[in-house]
Chain A
Amino acid sequence: MHKLHAAPVSIDASVALDFHLTNSFEILVELFAGKMLMSDFVKNELPKTMDLRETTIVPLANTTEWELLEKLKKEKRGLGLGEIGAIVIAKTRDAVLLTNDKLARNAIQGMGIEVAGSIGVLEYAVESGRMQSEAAIELLRKMILQGARISNELVTNFEDRLRNKKKTEVRKLSVQAEKSAVVRPEQTS
């Protein structure tokens, strides 16, 4: 089962903006309805007009959360409050962290937090049948035009994976079609 299938997600500004700026936040809503968490520190970084439907804004309220925030703030000086807030929520709510930020991804190593970025979300959208491969590739390109920071290598790998998957599916379908074509005369006789 895909890691994004069951668990809640804690989304940070990088991924939220990728989808918002390409007018595709709806995809996040469809994929993660009812389980999309956002630290209020992340919300504070985003445009006030952003539509955050189906997103639960989570404040940091208890001592454990503040202690983790304090620890990360001291140890990971390159991270902002938003990224730290997203990590704290992911850790304390057993959520998958959604971020493209390299530093945030490095920071959670050893913390037992699963992570995915915009690419991971798009792959999941294709896998779960909510998007076609070509549409996902096109959307990723739009995100990059809007300032998404995703390395060329990751983009190429993503495109290759989706195209290979598509070829495999087409091949499977044609094999199935061939089989049924062979079987059909016997069935009709």
Chain B
Amino acid sequence: MKEVIGQNLKSARESAQISQDDFAQKLGISRATLSAIENGHSTIDSTKLLEAARLLGRPVSEFFSERIEETALLYRAAENTIAPEHARKDFERFCRAYRELEEIVEVADSVLPPPEYAEPQFADVKAFAELVAASERQRLGIGPLEPINNMFKVLDEQGVRIFLYPLDGHDVWGISAYSARFGACIFVNALTTVERRIFSLAHEYGHLVMHRRMFNAPAPKGKADKTAELMADAFAANFLVPADALRTVFHRDIGEKAIGPEDIVFLKRYFRVSAKVIYKRLLEIKLLKENGDLLRAVTGEDQTKEIAPLGDDLIADWRRVGRFEHLAKKASLEEIISLGKLAEILGGSALETRKKVQEWRKELTIA
């Protein structure tokens, strides 16, 4: 235990870029004592450990987690966007808590991770992404012409760990990570439009099924792999808006006589994507020619806004049947875990968690 705590303490201190001298001073101990603690030679007392957790902005339970190789979250070596470390730490904490919850409830490994599609041997990577998207839809039992009503639910049911996190001030929409123990994990920035969140989820899922071998770095690096991004975008577009489905709806409900903003809004609501994605898909499958006026009318200048936006009810619908929340409720209401453990897993205080459990209990009352 002291070795694990020591290692975690050292790693957290180094991540926070605090020198051993400074940290020892803040803790009110000598540098030699801190060194002995970090090297697992001495036991820290719990007051100092709690103080260290507070100084480093980490929950104290994190210092007890053994970091074995198979639990490490691996990122794509060439990630196009880099989330700040605190967000990645929270992401990792969520994946770890999710797995722990599964183990406590005894449903760990009940869902196989998503398959890995071999690297394309042909030059047209977009065509490969389209094939993978069609194959995944089929594997998941989604008909070729069906819109995906709730992308979050679809992936959640596949055991993908989806972490919605409000990340302000960073141009990060989504991140994917993989670990032998946690499986497929996707971080989605909650401070974007619902349409963007859905597309980011599909995009990151595309990376996870097509670029699994690229998930080999303990931290993302800032060099974008343009081909991989192109493929993930193509996967997402084809997964969410298959060409045949778009053609069918287009011929059935729109026709080629005139295409206006109402048609785009109708299609974006039907497929639950952004107006821009619909516009691009219509161009790609040659149902529309470049039309700057139409594009401007349905997308506007501000990328953070969306015409006829999808409501957050989609997220709420998913949350109601979300796997993580269900396992947390089950574990708590059936008294498989204590209040304190639940608070650790949900990352809240005992008081907040107690209120949450009280609400959950009310849900089980017949009105």
Contacts and interface: CB of A to CB of B under 8 A. Distances in A.
A20 to B, nearest CB: 9
A interface SS class: helix
Contacts of A60: 45-46
B354 A77 contact: no
Given A77-B100, A103-B337, A82 B350 contact: yes
A82 B340 contact: yes
Interface residues of A, number: 36
A80 B343 contact: yes
Nearest to A88: B46
B192 to A, nearest CB: 33
A177 to B, nearest CB: 46
Interface string B175-195: 000000000000000000000
Contacts of B36: none
B367 to A, nearest CB: 18
Contacts of A79: 337-338, 340-341
Interface in B43-98: 43, 45-47, 50, 60-61, 64
Interface string B317-349: 000000000000001000111111111100001
A104 B331 CA distance: 14
A35 interface: no
A46 B337 CA distance: 18
B358 interface: yes
Contact of A78 (B60, B331, B349): B331
Contacts, number: 96
Given A45-B340, A78-B104, A78-B341, A40 B46 contact: yes
B354 A83 contact: no
Interface string B94-115: 0000001001100000000000
Contacts of B351: 17, 21, 46-47
B339 A81 contact: no
Given A44-B50, A80-B339, 16 more contacts: A13-B339, A13-B340, A41-B50, A44-B60, A45-B340, A60-B46, A62-B43, A63-B43, A66-B1, A66-B2, A69-B1, A78-B336, A80-B343, A81-B61, A101-B340, A103-B335
Interface of A: 12-14, 17, 21, 39-41, 44-47, 59-63, 66-67, 69-70, 73, 77-83, 85, 101-104, 147, 149
17 contacts: A17-B354, A40-B50, A41-B46, A59-B47, A61-B46, A73-B64, A78-B331, A79-B337, A79-B340, A79-B341, A80-B338, A81-B344, A83-B339, A83-B340, A103-B336, A103-B338, A147-B358
